[in-house]
């Protein structure tokens, strides 16, 4: 049985925050959440199609097939004003498209139409980070330290964070791997938008951290919210984790990369190959 947008319990509007890791998506989600109108429910995981969260939510809701899961999360996480929103990475998005396409095997319809049939009126917010080297370094340090987010004004967390961050180690190859993967994933998002004639709301991380309230206003306006009734005097609830050590790593990376410049196109090739492999795996029985 396929999912259809034909119930009064369905959201009147759904939106995806399309992004990559360490691009400010958690900051953005907190900002939308603070207005009370963005569809991201308080106290719940924002990334509803992340495999780990999906497994936990499926167990809690007792829904294991994709149809039941989507119906359940729309009902569970839709706001009282009928908005459903989630953030999603390309890896999970491409898998989601493959899963919901199983409901429409007999029909030849576009990816966008698949999403409309499943989520109703759907919008896309594309959040990207321009400086891919800084983003890759951020991923490398977060993986090593285990610190992905830091709440603003949390002195206790800051002390713990500094201790953990001091133990991380520079790896040129790992950073190059993350950087290449990020660039390819951005290209996948942009190809999806182009192929489906979608004009998403484009948000840039570097602009988001500089003018946070204005960007939240922009999101609300894009979602057709009554912005006159919304307090947009919001501040980020998480802090940027980059420090002088991150800058030192960037300088070190650029020096090594200049010497081994031929490695970058090779890693980009591997990243593209990985995308193709995952798509083949999704298609396998």
Q: Above 80 in pLDDT, residue 188?
A: yes
Cα radius of gyration rounded to whole Å, the chain: 20
Average pLDDT score over residue span 185-196: 97
pLDDT of residue 78: 86
Q: How confident is the model at residue 236 (pLDDT cuts 50, 70, 90)?
A: low
Candidate from 1-10, 229-238, 271-280 with smallest mean pLDDT: 1-10
Per-residue pLDDT reduced to its tens digit, 70-123: 998 998 888 877 889 999 999 999 999 999 988 777 578 899 999 999 999 999
Chain centroid, CA 256 distance in Å: 30
What confidence category does residue 42 fall into, taking pLDDT thresholds of 50, 70 and 90? very low
DSSP state of 255: H
14: phi then psi, degrees, rounded to nearest 5: -125, 150
* pLDDT beyond 90 at 223: no
Q: Tell me the mean pLDDT in the region 248-277.
A: 94
Question: Per CATH, which fold does 13-283 belong to?
Answer: Rossmann fold (3.40.50)
């Amino acid at each position: 049985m396929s999912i259809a947008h034909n119930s009064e319990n369905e959201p009147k509007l759904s939106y995806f925050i399309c992004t990559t890791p360490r691009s400010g998506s958690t900051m953005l989600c907190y900002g939308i959440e603070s207005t009370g109108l963005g569809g991201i429910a308080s106290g719940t995981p924002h990334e509803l199609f992340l495999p780990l969260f999906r497994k936990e939510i499926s167990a809690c809701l007792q829904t294991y097939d994709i149809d039941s899961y989507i119906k359940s999360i729309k009902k569970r996480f839709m706001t009282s004003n009928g908005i459903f929103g989630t953030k999603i990475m390309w890896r999970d998005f491409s898998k989601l498209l493959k899963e919901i396409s199983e409901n429409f095997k007999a029909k030849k319809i576009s990816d966008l139409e698949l999403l409309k049939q499943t989520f109703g009126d759907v919008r896309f917010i594309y959040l990207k980070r321009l400086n891919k080297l800084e983003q890759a370094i951020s991923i490398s340090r977060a993986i090593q330290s285990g610190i992905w987010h830091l709440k603003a004004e949390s002195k206790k967390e800051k002390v713990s964070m500094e201790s953990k961050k001091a133990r991380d180690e520079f790896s040129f190859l790992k950073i190059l791997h993350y950087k290449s993967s990020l660039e390819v994933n951005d290209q996948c998002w942009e190809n999806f938008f182009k192929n489906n004639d979608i004009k998403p709301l484009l948000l840039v991380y570097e602009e988001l951290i500089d003018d946070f309230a204005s960007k939240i206003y922009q999101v609300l306006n894009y979602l057709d919210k009554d912005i006159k009734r919304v307090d947009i005097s919001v501040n980020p609830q998480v802090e940027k984790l980059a420090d002088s050590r991150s800058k030192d790593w960037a300088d070190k990376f650029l020096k090594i990369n200049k010497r081994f410049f031929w490695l970058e196109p090779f890693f980009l090739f591997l990243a593209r190959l990985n995308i193709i492999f995952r798509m083949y795996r999704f298609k396998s029985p």
